[in-house]
Amino acid sequence: MTDTVLTVEQMRATERAAMEAGVSEWELMQRAGEGAAQWIMRVAAGRPVAVLCGPGNNGGDGYVIAETLIRRGYEVQVIAPLEPRSETAQQARAHYSGAVFAATTMREPVVIDCLFGYGLTRKVEGEFAELLEQMASSHCYKVAIDVPSAVESDTGSVLGPLPDYDLTLALGAWKQAHGLMPAMAAMGERRLVPIGLDLSGARSALSRRPRLTPPAPDAHKYRRGLLAVVAGAMPGAPLLAAEAAMRAGVGYVKLLSDHDHFGAPADLVIEQGKLANTLDDERIAAVLVGPGLGRDDSARERLAQAFSCRKPGVLDADALYLLDPELLAQADPGTLCVTPHEGELQKLCEVFGIGDGSKLERARRLHDVTGMTVLAKGPDTVLASDVMTSFFPRGSSWLSVAGTGDVLAGIVASRLAVHGNPHRACEEGVWLHHEAARLASPAFTASGLAHAVKPAMAALL
């Protein structure tokens, strides 16, 4: 699959499998370098190019790129502080027909970073750090080959000077860093260069933009899904989530609340009374609980009652601070989605005995321990479920405003009520959230974002 994401260990195993099947490492390097050169020629458009080559196989890719460009008539300068060390990189250097400079001032309008590829775990220092600093301060068009040279592939952490690249070309398969902060913010446009690897069986992928479908010809409001939004101590957040849910495709939204919601839209049904009674409706397709719930004993009881109806559900905000193994035992975890930000994820990990680690590692372990679908949101968003781990494109930084998480929870719950698939609901929710942010224009409020969900739906149909 062209959206497959691999760890360093998985990538090495995949390349070994290709070589055991009869493809040489030199052939894989040629495919990678020549495929990357095709992209570089598109952006260089005849301009001179500098290629920074390291001593490993990423540097070997650089020599192949440079030779391919020379054959197409490009003016190319290769800068390599060290000679190649691996046998295949030495072969690539031997096939390169141009000059190599150990150090020089970059003046070319296009610069290609082939210093270090995937698998780097040590800090970038010395002459390599100086080259990256020089690249960062240059006004050139910057291209990273595979992953930027100062990035750890599995975690996205930064190990040295990190220029802001215009283009990153992943070789063979996507790496986890392509979907993780802080590295993702520096990668610019991201494109994949296939090299003929067998990527079947992978359990991680970049999320593809979903294509939503209109209701069936014979649909009615209950067949499209009835979503119950459980309110609590604070009226604003559940109302915001309900308004987003109403615009995300569900047929019917009920806000179960004892508050007077003045100014609530006329087409939102607000139902008061004992929660156990209002939840005792077999037509309910999904439940959202957490926004504005509170964290006292009354809130805990409302969360327990939401679990008692045994419907698919989305847990957000206060519900994530209340959730513990005792409460979860009352639910069907396989039907639940949790949507934590960093603080909420940390709290869940403490309660369920998850140790330290990256956001990705903790989200995966939380899913493994609890069985819930975990959508760990933030500047980078990752989704861990029985289906797979999904990575998403970076959303608008304007989403960093109070209430946008309530909107996301409402969207995800709406999609869950439509079809009942937790992983799919989370993926659709993230894409709708990002699209709504794009359409809402800068400096929106959470309520403005909720209203932008409707045109976002139209954009994904």
123 labelled binding-site residue = yes
267 labelled binding-site residue = no
pLDDT at 224: 95
139-153, pLDDT tens digit by residue?
Answer: 999 999 999 999 999
CA-to-CA distance for 260 and 264, rounded, in angstroms?
9
**Are 109 and 237 found together in one domain?**
no
55 labelled binding-site residue = no
56 labelled binding-site residue = no
Q: Which residue type, as a one-letter code, is found at position 67?
A: E
**Are 186 and 286 found together in one domain?**
no
pLDDT at 2: 82
Q: Is residue 38 part of a domain?
A: yes
Residue 86: pLDDT over 90? yes
237 labelled binding-site residue = yes
Q: Domain ends where: 142, 173, 204?
A: 204
Q: Given pLDDT bands bounded at 50, 70 and 90, which one contains residue 261?
A: confident
**Are 77 and 196 found together in one domain?**
yes
Q: Domain ends where: 173, 204, 235?
A: 204
2 labelled binding-site residue = no
119 labelled binding-site residue = yes
DSSP state of 379: S
**Are 421 and 291 found together in one domain?**
yes
CA-to-CA distance for 144 and 115, rounded, in angstroms?
9
Tell which phi-psi region holds residue 245, choosing left (phi > 0), alpha (psi between -120 and 50) or beta: alpha
Q: Is residue 220 part of a domain?
A: no
358 labelled binding-site residue = no
Residue 461: exposed, middle, or buried by beta-carbon count in 10 A (0-12, 13-18, 19+)?
A: exposed
113 labelled binding-site residue = yes
Q: Is residue 284 part of a domain?
A: yes
Coil, strand or helix at 24: coil
121 labelled binding-site residue = yes
421 labelled binding-site residue = no
* Residue 54: domain span: 5-204
168 labelled binding-site residue = no
46 labelled binding-site residue = no
Q: Domain ends where: 204, 236, 271?
A: 204
**Are 190 and 306 found together in one domain?**
no
**Are 279 and 161 found together in one domain?**
no
**Mean pLDDT in the chain?**
96
454 labelled binding-site residue = no
pLDDT at 31: 98
Average pLDDT estimate for 325-329: 97
**Are 147 and 242 found together in one domain?**
no
CATH number at residue 78: 3.40.50.10260
Percent of the chain, pLDDT > 70?
Answer: 100
Q: Given pLDDT bands bounded at 50, 70 and 90, which one contains residue 451?
A: very high
CATH number at residue 369: 3.40.1190.20
105 labelled binding-site residue = no
Q: Is residue 12 part of a domain?
A: yes
Beta strands across the sheet bearing 167-171 = 100-101, 76-79, 49-53, 110-114, 141-145, 167-171, 189-193
Average pLDDT estimate for 158-175: 98
59 labelled binding-site residue = yes
Q: Is residue 192 part of a domain?
A: yes
Q: Is residue 404 part of a domain?
A: yes
**Are 137 and 79 found together in one domain?**
yes
429 labelled binding-site residue = no
**Are 32 and 172 found together in one domain?**
yes
Residue 1: pLDDT over 80? no
448 labelled binding-site residue = no
**Are 180 and 325 found together in one domain?**
no
154 labelled binding-site residue = no
Q: Is residue 218 part of a domain?
A: no
Residue 459: pLDDT over 70? yes
Total residue count of the chain as it appears in this document? 461
What is the number of domains present in the chain?
2
What is the value of pTM for the model shown? 0.95
380 labelled binding-site residue = yes
149 labelled binding-site residue = yes
**Are 116 and 177 found together in one domain?**
yes
**Are 251 and 179 found together in one domain?**
no
Tell which phi-psi region holds residue 353, choosing left (phi > 0), alpha (psi between -120 and 50) or beta: left
335-393, pLDDT tens digit by residue?
Answer: 999 999 999 999 999 999 999 999 999 999 999 999 999 999 999 999 999 999 999 99
